[in-house]
Amino acid sequence: MKITTVDTPEHEQVIRFEDAASGLKGFIAIHSTQLGPAAGGVRMRPYGHPDEALNDALRLSRGMTYKNAAANLPLGGGKAVIIGDPATEKTPALLRAFGRAVQSLEGRYWTAEDMGMSPEDMALIGQETRFVAGLADGEFASGDPSPITARGIFNAIRTTARHRFGSADLTGKTVSVQGLGHVGYHLCRLLHEAGAKLIVTDIDAAQVAAVAGEFGATPVAPDEIYAVEAEIFAPCAIGAVLNETTIPQLKVGAVAGGANNQLATEEDGQRLHERGILYAPDFVANGGGIINVATEILHIANREEWVAEKLEALDRTMDRILTRAIAQSVSPNDVAEAIVHEILHQEAA
Ligand code: NAD
């Protein structure tokens, strides 16, 4: 396997790997190990150009530094990308070769599942390296993170409601939920149990029928979700859904959901702020997922107690962000980034 270093100004270490025998090619980007070993999933996609894959790795690994720091975890930020179509090009030989690329970094980067990957794939990668999380079996295997991710988002919704509407009580409040997959389904259950009314959508009709039936949710078509009247909008499907087209349509007081990279551009944080819509930064709201994975990386024995403490700390961070954003009348996303810089700065001092 050929491993070469890519020089980049902001990241600690970036490698390019290429294995002719298995067809593996891609990048591992370590943005920061200041708080601990870099952790972040591996994504496999048929990128059009290697630069596109490199840019994804650089951007996503930086995002992991922010997410891990906001979740108060002793982990840095990293991410790996494999160039190829997971449906046709993912083979055991390719996955094992990727495991060797991870191993070459000697624990400075821990990999896990992301788009195009499964727990079975992690097991194959694990034949070549111990620096892999997201395994289905094993003493510290952390399993499906989505119930804990949903719990963290639920807490974020309550805290956002307290700041925006004066009470964290969700009884009778309407929450619109986009995306009813792993995270969205569990979130709807928690919201329903808390007495909230639900307006939901998904491109998968079976998911919509399940949530409508189980939790009495009102379904709407996918492109109608932005314009429904609700107290809170919870995006739990895909990224970039908060943009110049959707934000003017919103009839909500707050946005708090689990999807990654909800803001299409930095200006969209400002756009929400100008419309008086309180935005719970996504990389804080959805930190439960990495908290769950961290139990596996850090070999946490008293798992339940540890996760509960971390979720409480995450909620306090959200509270701090929203308190400061409201006091200074600025976008919570800007405050969240500033708070992460403060955490990293304190560690460095
Ligand atoms: P998932 O694939 O299980 O569910 C996503 C759902 O969104 C699917 O049901 C899909 O049909 C639906 N969807 C896709 N495009 C849509 C559209 N345009 N309109 C409406 N619905 C649409 O994924 P998930 O694990 O539930 O993750 C959801 C989001 O949360 C993703 O952005 C993911 O990156 C993020 N996230 C997930 C976790 C986790 O623990 N699973 C952790 C952190 C962040």
Tokens of 235: 């995006």
Would you state the pLDDT for residue 187?
Answer: 98
Q: Is 32 in the pocket of ligand 1 (CB under 6 A)?
A: no
Confidence of residue 9 (pLDDT cuts 50, 70, 90): very high
The closest of 150, 163, 268 to 211, measured between CA atoms, is: 150
| Residue 63, annotated as binding a ligand | no
Q: Distance from the CA of 108 to the center of ligand 1, in angstroms? A: 29
**Average pLDDT estimate for 149-157:** 98
What pLDDT does 228 receive? Answer: 98
Q: Which helix (H) or strand (E) holds 230?
A: none
Atom 29 of ligand 1, nearest CA residue? 259
The pLDDT-based confidence of 40 (bands split at 50, 70, 90) is: very high
Q: What is the percent of the chain where pLDDT is above 90?
A: 95
| pLDDT recorded at residue 136 | 87
pLDDT tens readout for residues 288-319 = 999 999 999 999 999 999 999 999 999 999 99
Q: Tell me how long the chain is.
A: 349
Residue 307: what pLDDT?
98
| 2-62+75-125 against 146-287+315-343: fold identical | yes
Q: For 146-287+315-343, which CATH superfamily applies?
A: NAD(P)-binding Rossmann-like Domain (3.40.50.720)
pLDDT band at 144 (very low <50, low <70, confident <90, very high): confident
Residue nearest to atom 33 of ligand 1 (CA): 259
The answer to whether 179 and 172 have CB atoms below 8 angstroms apart is no
- 138 annotated as a binding-site residue: no
The pair phi, psi for residue 176, each rounded to 5°, is -95, 130
Task: Tell me: pLDDT of 348 over 80.
Answer: no
Whether the CB of 235 sits within 6 Å of ligand 1: no
On whether 31 is known to bind a ligand per the annotation, the reply is: no
> Is pLDDT at 255 greater than 90 in this prediction?
yes
Confidence tier at 45 by pLDDT (50, 70, 90) = very high
pLDDT band at 269 (very low <50, low <70, confident <90, very high): very high
Helices (H), the chain: 50-70, 86-89, 92-103, 119-125, 146-165, 182-193, 205-215, 266-274, 282-285, 288-297, 303-328, 332-348
**How many angstroms separate the alpha carbon of residue 48 from the centre of ligand 1?**
23
> Any known ligand binding at 182?
yes
Taking only the tens place, the pLDDT of each residue in 203-253 is: 999 999 999 999 999 999 999 999 999 999 999 999 999 999 999 999 999
pLDDT of residue 346: 83
- Whether 178 lines ligand 1, by a CB cut-off of 6 Å, is yes
Region 146-170: what's the mean pLDDT?
97
Give the catalytic positions in this structure: 79
Euclidean distance between CA atoms 71 and 76, whole angstroms: 11
Whether 349 shows a pLDDT value over 80: the answer reads no
Q: Which residue has a Cα nearest atom 14 of ligand 1?
A: 237
Question: Is the CB of residue 287 below 6 angstroms from any atom belonging to ligand 1?
Answer: no
pLDDT for res 328: 97
Residue 244: the pLDDT is: 98
Helices (H) and strands (E) in the chain, counts: 12, 13
> What is 2-62+75-125's CATH topology?
Rossmann fold (3.40.50)
Listed by start position, the domains of the chain span 2-62+75-125, 146-287+315-343
Instruction: Kindly report, residue by residue over 74-101, the tens digit of the pLDDT.
Output: 999 999 999 999 999 999 999 999 999 9
